[in-house]
């Protein structure tokens, strides 16, 4: 009673702030000295989860004192000293005093000195250092309010504030000596705290009780079902099978374990074993409806339709509103080709469970097979929103989007859906063709390259890439892609025909023809092969062979308007303008705005002498494509022949402005200027034509006439000699050569040229002689009769 009274008197006397004067500076100094020796203690349970936290004081080399209540329930102890985290081991204890000692390997902190306290120290300034509330080490100042009190162990009382997490920390004097270990807060406040005196710490350093053995709780029952559901969600069937087997061994009376094992074996396509496990599940629980449903599916797969029907009825009796039965029946009907009935069953499954991705996927498959693309896309998209993991269904949805001209949605599905590599190139191919059809060549190339990356062994993927590169006019790269397709599938006519097409674009006529002929040899009914044979022959100038190939193509397939135009060109080349005109009329009926039809019709009409008709079709071509240089050049040529020279010059000047590299336009412009007696402009146009194509004989003949009219006789003969070097017996060239010598007054040379002309064309020579004699040229009399 006396001791308590003394304590109360001491506490009542400590009300003034003067007693705490100067403590703030002392607190900082004490904290700097002792904080390296105060540690944070964390404890963990058997599952490794954080359990509790407190403080401790380094009181010996590798030794930490703390409260037992901080560590007594721990499975693991970690000690935080500065930046380091070390393992702690419970070394000994003084249970009645709630004081324990830890051994900490690798702990380098310096032990603090200990100080025993007697009654005369009451009222002395003290400092508590610990980790309150887990926020890090902190110091609080107060006074020693009581010493050597008994309850039933001796303890001190201090007013330095404490918080949870401070338990096990140290109470120090101004010199940084340890007065005791903080233990508990007295009452409801934080300012009266129980301290275990340093002499208790000294005793436990010398010896104490062993820590109690760690209690070992019995291992909890393994969460078989939870683990199985996790593996099912991840579709890890190979891992699920041994797990389910172990589950069955651990719980041999579990029907659900046997059912899970059977389900897993179905996914692994081990159907006989699956049926055995499902039968086992039903032996244990005849009312396991899911086992009946899955058993029906397995029995149907092995052809036991009657048994499957009975199993389905058993399932329906137990779960009359389950969506599984109509879904399963729908899949059976689908396999049998009874699509209308399958559709009804799938719709019933959805009615019963609209949140099932499997039900929507089944409906999508049926609608797709029925050709109902919009309905199929809606069903597949719904399945996807519901989390359908089926890669084939997702891939098909992307393909349907691409095939129906919705490449952006196709790209989204292909990007977001987890699609297996097996068959994924088909999705990219469909996406690539959709982008190609929209004229978006960059995205088309990207999709085709992904297809090649996914399936480098796919000839279709390489062909798709080649097609896009061809559109991009990267012809050499396109040919390499088509080469790879042919290497992968050398016996396929379609790939040979595709390579023939690119080789024809590259003007490699013989290799193009070789590929085309090989294609029809491999497959005599190859439409692509015969098309390329016809086009290759046409490009090679073999009009008769081209016409025969077009005739064969017409027997195999309905010709496109463009193909009919090509056939008409071959007919024109064989001297059959009437048949050619009839053919382009068919093309015109099918596509009256086909540019190539207009240009070819103009050529045919021009060949028939119908210049007005030819001009009409050139004008139609310009209306279709106002910047088509061939149409402007053709218009100018028709106007020349009609004698409408100013209009011809205007049209042809437009043509060369549109394409300064167009040889025919320059030749026609030169002819128009020549006929208009604009010799300087004629010479400029024709010299430009020859610079573009030195082998152009028409340009050289017109240029020779222009030079001759300008009395540039040597220049005229120079052009004629180039022509005669190629065609020595060309009558117009020999005529020009003769006239050039006559105009120059060189009778002997004129006579020599005239003899060559007379030898090739006597009537032409005679007419020329009459003409030049009539013109009054003096040298004309040198021409022999």
- pLDDT, tens digit (0-9, with 9 covering 90-100), for 136-176: 888 888 888 887 667 677 888 888 777 766 788 999 999 99
**Per-residue confidence (pLDDT) for residue 15, from 0 to 100:** 39
Tell me the C-alpha distance between 33 and 137, whole Å.
13
In the chain, how many domains are there?
2
Token output for 531 = 């098309």
**Per-residue confidence (pLDDT) for residue 11, from 0 to 100:** 38
- Maximum mean pLDDT: which of 255-259, 295-299, 415-419: 255-259
Q: Is the pLDDT reported for residue 595 higher than 90?
A: yes
Tell me the C-alpha distance between 465 and 459, whole Å.
10
Are 774 and 739 in contact by the 8 Å Cβ rule? The answer is no
In a domain, 19, yes or no: yes
In a domain, 320, yes or no: no
| CATH code: domain of residue 75 | 2.40.10.120
Last residue of a domain, one of 151, 172, 206: 206
Record the pTM.
Answer: 0.53
**Per-residue confidence (pLDDT) for residue 5, from 0 to 100:** 32
- Average pLDDT score over the chain: 87
Last residue of a domain, one of 171, 206, 241: 206
Tell me the C-alpha distance between 538 and 243, whole Å.
70
Tell me the C-alpha distance between 139 and 192, whole Å.
16
In a domain, 349, yes or no: no
Are 78 and 70 in contact by the 8 Å Cβ rule? The answer is no
Q: What's the helix, strand, coil split of the chain in %, to 5? A: 65, 10, 25
Token output for 213 = 């053995």
505: Cα separation from own chain's centroid: 31
In a domain, 768, yes or no: yes
114's enclosing H/E stretch is none
Instruction: List, for residues 651-667, the tens digit of each pLDDT value.
Output: 999 999 999 999 999 99
Last residue of a domain, one of 206, 231, 246: 206
Per DSSP, the three-state class of 286 is coil
In a domain, 397, yes or no: no
In a domain, 258, yes or no: no
368: Cα separation from own chain's centroid: 25
**Per-residue confidence (pLDDT) for residue 365, from 0 to 100:** 92
In a domain, 20, yes or no: yes
Q: Is the pLDDT reported for residue 18 higher than 90?
A: no
Q: Would you call 167 exposed, middle or buried from its count of C-beta atoms within 10 A (0-12, 13-18, 19+)?
A: buried
Domain that holds residue 51: 2-206
Token output for 783 = 């021409």
Q: Is the pLDDT reported for residue 78 higher than 90?
A: yes
Tallying the residues shown for the chain, one arrives at: 785
Residue in the block written with tokens 């397709």: 485
In a domain, 546, yes or no: no
Token output for 542 = 């073999």
302-306, long-range: CB within 8 Å, 24+ apart, which pairs?
302/271, 302/272, 302/275
Phi first, then psi, for residue 626 (nearest 5°) are: -65, -15
Question: How many percent of the chain have pLDDT more than 70?
Answer: 92
Residue of 330, 349, 325, 348 whose CA lies nearest to 340? 330
Strand ranges (DSSP E) for 47-95?
50-60, 63-67, 76-81, 84-94
Question: How many percent of the chain have pLDDT more than 90?
Answer: 52
């Amino acid at each position: 009673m006396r001791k308590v009274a003394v304590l109360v008197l001491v506490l009542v006397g400590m009300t003034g702030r003067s007693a705490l004067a100067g403590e703030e500076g002392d607190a900082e100094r004490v904290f700097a000295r002792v904080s390296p020796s105060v540690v944070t203690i964390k404890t963990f349970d058997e599952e490794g989860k954080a359990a509790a936290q407190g403080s401790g004081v380094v009181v010996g080399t590798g030794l930490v004192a703390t409260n037992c209540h901080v560590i007594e329930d721990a499975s693991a102890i970690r000690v935080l000293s500065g930046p380091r985290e070390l393992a702690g081991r419970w070394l000994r204890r003084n249970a009645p005093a709630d004081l324990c000692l830890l051994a900490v390997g690798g702990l380098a902190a310096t032990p603090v000195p200990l100080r025993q306290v007697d009654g005369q120290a009451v009222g002395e300034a003290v400092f508590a250092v610990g980790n309150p509330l887990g926020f890090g080490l902190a110091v609080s100042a107060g006074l020693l309010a009581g010493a050597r009190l008994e309850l039933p162990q001796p303890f001190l009382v201090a007013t330095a504030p404490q918080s949870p997490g401070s338990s096990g920390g140290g109470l120090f004097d101004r010199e940084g000596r340890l007065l005791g270990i903080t233990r508990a807060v007295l009452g409801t406040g934080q300012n009266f705290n129980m301290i275990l005196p340093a002499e208790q710490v000294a005793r436990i350093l010398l010896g104490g009780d062993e820590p109690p053995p760690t209690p070992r709780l019995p291992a909890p029952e393994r969460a078989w079902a939870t683990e199985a559901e996790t593996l099912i969600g991840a579709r890890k069937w190979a891992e699920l099978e041994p797990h389910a087997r172990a589950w069955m061994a651990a719980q041999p009376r579990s029907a659900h374990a046997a059912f899970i094992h059977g389900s897993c074996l179905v996914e692994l396509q081990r159907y006989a074993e699956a049926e055995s496990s499902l039968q086992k599940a039903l032996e244990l629980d005849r009312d396991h409806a899911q086992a009946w449903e899955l058993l029906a599916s397995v029995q149907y797969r092995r052809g036991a339709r009657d048994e499957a029907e009975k199993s389905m009825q058993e399932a329906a009796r137990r779960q009359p509103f389950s969506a599984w039965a109509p879904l399963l029946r729908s899949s059976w009907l689908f396999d049998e080709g009874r699509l209308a009935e399958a559709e009804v069953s799938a719709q019933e499954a959805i009615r019963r469970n609209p949140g099932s991705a499997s039900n929507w996927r089944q409906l999508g498959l049926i609608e797709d097979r029925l050709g109902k693309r919009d309905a199929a896309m809606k069903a597949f998209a719904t399945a996807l929103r519901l989390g359908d993991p089926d890669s084939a269904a997702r891939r098909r949805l992307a393909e349907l989007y691409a095939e129906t001209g919705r490449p952006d949605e196709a790209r989204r599905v292909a990007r977001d859906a987890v699609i297996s590599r097996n068959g994924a190139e088909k999705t990219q191919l469909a996406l690539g063709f959709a982008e190609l059809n929209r004229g978006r060549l960059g995205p088309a190339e990207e999709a085709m390259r992904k297809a090649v990356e996914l399936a480098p062994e796919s000839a279709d993927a390489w062909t798709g890439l080649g097609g896009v590169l061809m559109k991009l006019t990267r012809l050499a790269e396109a040919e390499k892609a088509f080469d790879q397709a042919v290497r992968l599938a050398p016996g396929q006519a379609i790939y040979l025909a595709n390579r023939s097409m690119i080789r024809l674009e590259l003007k490699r006529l013989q290799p193009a023809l070789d590929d085309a002929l090989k294609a029809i040899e491999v497959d005599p009914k190859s439409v692509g092969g015969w098309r390329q044979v016809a086009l290759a022959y046409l490009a090679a100038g073999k009009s008769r062979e081209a016409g025969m190939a077009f005739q064969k193509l017409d027997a195999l397939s309905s010709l496109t308007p463009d193909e009919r135009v090509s056939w008409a060109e071959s007919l024109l080349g064989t001297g059959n303008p009437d048949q050619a005109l009839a053919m382009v009329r068919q093309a015109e009926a099918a596509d009256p705005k086909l540019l190539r039809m207009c240009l070819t019709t103009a050529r045919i009409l021009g060949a028939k002498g119908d210049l007005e008709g030819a001009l009409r079709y050139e004008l139609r071509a310009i209306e279709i494509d106002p910047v088509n240089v061939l149409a402007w050049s053709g218009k100018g040529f028709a106007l020349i022949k009609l004698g409408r020279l100013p209009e011809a010059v205007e049209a042809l000047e437009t043509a060369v402005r549109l394409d300064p590299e167009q040889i025919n336009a320059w030749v026609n412009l030169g002819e128009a200027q020549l006929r208009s007696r604009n010799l300087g402009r004629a010479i400029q146009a024709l010299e430009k034509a020859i610079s573009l194509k030195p082998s152009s004989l028409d340009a050289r003949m017109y240029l020779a006439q222009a030079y001759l009219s300008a009395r540039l006789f040597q220049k005229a003969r120079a052009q004629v000699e180039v022509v005669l070097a190629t065609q020595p017996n060309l009558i117009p060239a020999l005529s020009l050569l003769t006239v050039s010598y006559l105009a120059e007054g060189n009778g002997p040379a004129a006579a020599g040229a005239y003899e060559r002309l007379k030898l090739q064309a006597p009537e032409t020579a005679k007419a020329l002689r009459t003409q030049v004699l009539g013109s009054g040229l003096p040298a004309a009399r040198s021409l022999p009769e």
